[in-house]
Structure 1
């Protein structure tokens, strides 16, 4: 079944591991949770020798332990959880892992957009059934959030600040009252949340001002701010973890030389430093330069090498992939990357040589092609 999915949700991908953790878990569990809070943390952050388990549990989310613990504690209460941070900081991945560990279902998701309506978080109707038999619970289509309420599970709301104020207001009553009224029905017209129900929402800190949350909605959430990963070692671990998954998913056998990974990490560090010291927004790349975007650059280079190269990842390919991925505005982004290539990559290539030489040439060629 896993092989038939383009991307398996966490509860399917790690089903065997979750089954095993559940079988050895003797800790107290809130509500209808499948795992105890300690086991949820262990599933997400990985096991240590001191845990005394008979098998190793790999780390799946790389971040501060306190963020995970605060998130778990929030979900064990009657408050919603809001994960907020820059793009690419792993908010959605953490939300998915939490849902998979707690209720073995991370797919009850509403995607917040300007087109999201109140129906998307409450219910809608099967028009043909309504015409044939009238409005009833059978002809009602529950939203993922309502389904989570009925089953006592975790509902997820992605990009909350991108949804309009009326949608956000509808969420207030769900978080406060823990039920949804269905005024169209005379009987059986209230859906009550079962114990274990909660909502994990995510918000992009760069969307501030798009549709700001009301103070009433903010009070219904505990905020956990996920910072950008700046630790070089942690970022390297994330990129390696995601790259290994990528190669496995695409069934590609290709080595990623550690020296090339160092070039990628250093390049992003350089570009972030340049963005931090920029005098105006025009002097910054449109890209957030997140860890997720690093992984995207590496994925592009790996797939290009596999299908069009000699099935070996080379510095030239990586340089071209980085320019191609980050040059979103023309001519602004191209000018910034061109300045970086001449002012930083070229001197580093002369001084250090190695992979930087090929990286220089690959980037130069990409900039020339796009200009």
Structure 2
């Protein structure tokens, strides 16, 4: 499996937590809210567990607790924030802990239709035997309703208003009617059913949510991680996973991680101070972008270098990943390299190598 879902990847932890869980569980939840929080945020000494549970999502505890409380009610949960803030990962972890199935997902796009969140038909079976429950193809959301599980809706604001409106009846009435059938024509949601939706705050204005749909969701805003220590933990955690996936043994020098974190912090500050969009990088400069830059540099070092991560390679990866518009992004990066990196690079060391690598990458792309 290229990427195992959370309930498969962390099956041992989930089995252990379920075996010792004595807390009250809402509906048909596999774990109590307290154990769900421990699974997502990791265990602490005060939890009194016999084994350590690794932290999987890095952020404020209050966001996770509010999300869990929402899912224990009859309201949907909407995780909203900038790209790369871990909304989808948090949604997957919550679904895995609550119902041991995080794969009931609908991806919102301009091409998403009502069929994707309700049901469609197996045409060959309809022609052969007519319309029946056997010839119906339930959507992931309908499957979640029937089994009392968590359904996920990614990028809700990218879906059209018709699709969004179809969610209103599901969230409020908790059933789906099938008018094509005479009998057995209503699918009722079972206890434990809920929906976790995600929305990109940068997509505001694409397909705004109606006030009716907003009322049926509890909003949890996930901010961009700006704390350097927390961001370093996230990058190290995700990078270790990527190295295991690629079966690569390569050390991440702490000085290079500091350079990467500092560069993104500098570029974010410059973006916040910019007068217009042309003076901002198109990239969201999120933690996910940092992980992508680092993965690119690690793979380049492994396959085309001496299997040692160096500052020049990291600089080239950063420039190549963030220079999406030409000449706008290249001009912004060139200004940053001359104004910020160059003074640091005069002292030599890794900053000096980072300076040289970035200059070469910018020159090549220009």
Give the shorter-chain TM-score range. over 0.9
Query: In structure 2, how many angstroms separate the alpha carbons of the residues matched to 1:177 and 1:321?
Result: 50
Q: Report the count of equivalent residues.
A: 366
Instruction: Determine if the alignment matches structure 1 residue 109 to structure 2 residue 105.
Output: yes
Which position in structure 1 is the counterpart of 2:305? 309
Query: What CA RMSD, in Å, does the superposition of the two structures yield over aligned residues?
Result: 0.5
Q: Secondary structure at the match of 2:295?
A: helix
Offset at 1:357? 1.0
Instruction: Determine if the alignment matches structure 1 residue 367 to structure 2 residue 358.
Output: no
* Equivalent residue runs for 1:1-371 within 5 Å: 5-351=1-347, 353-371=348-366
Q: Secondary structure at the match of 1:199?
A: strand
TM-score between both structures, scaled by the size of structure 1 = 0.98
Q: Secondary structure at the match of 1:201?
A: strand
Query: In structure 2, how many angstroms separate the alpha carbons of the residues matched to 1:28 and 1:329?
Result: 53
Q: Secondary structure at the match of 2:151?
A: strand
Q: Secondary structure at the match of 1:296?
A: helix
Query: In structure 1, how many angstroms separate the alpha carbons of the residues matched to 2:235 and 2:350?
Result: 18
Query: In structure 2, how many angstroms separate the alpha carbons of the residues matched to 1:138 and 1:366?
Result: 58
| Structure 1 residue runs of 4 or more that deviate by more than 3 Å after TM superposition | none
Query: In structure 1, how many angstroms separate the alpha carbons of the residues matched to 2:350 and 2:29?
Result: 49
Query: In structure 1, how many angstroms separate the alpha carbons of the residues matched to 2:136 and 2:315?
Result: 53
CA displacement 1:20-53 (0-9 Å, x = unmatched): 1100111000000000000000000000001100
Offset at 1:158? 0.2
TM-score between both structures, scaled by the size of structure 2 = 1.00
Structure 1, unaligned runs of 5 or more: none
Q: Secondary structure at the match of 2:209?
A: coil
Query: In structure 2, how many angstroms separate the alpha carbons of the residues matched to 1:242 and 1:363?
Result: 24
Offset at 1:95? 0.1
Query: In structure 2, how many angstroms separate the alpha carbons of the residues matched to 1:132 and 1:121?
Result: 25
Q: Secondary structure at the match of 2:346?
A: helix
Offset at 1:354? 1.6
Offset at 1:362? 1.0
Offset at 1:358? 1.1
Query: In structure 2, how many angstroms separate the alpha carbons of the residues matched to 1:206 and 1:273?
Result: 18
Query: In structure 1, how many angstroms separate the alpha carbons of the residues matched to 2:240 and 2:34?
Result: 27
Structure 2, unaligned runs of 5 or more: none
225-234 vs 357-366, which moves further: 357-366
CA displacement 1:256-310 (0-9 Å, x = unmatched): 0000000000000000010011111100000010000000000000000111111
Offset at 1:134? 0.4
CA displacement 1:328-360 (0-9 Å, x = unmatched): 000000000011011111111114x22111111
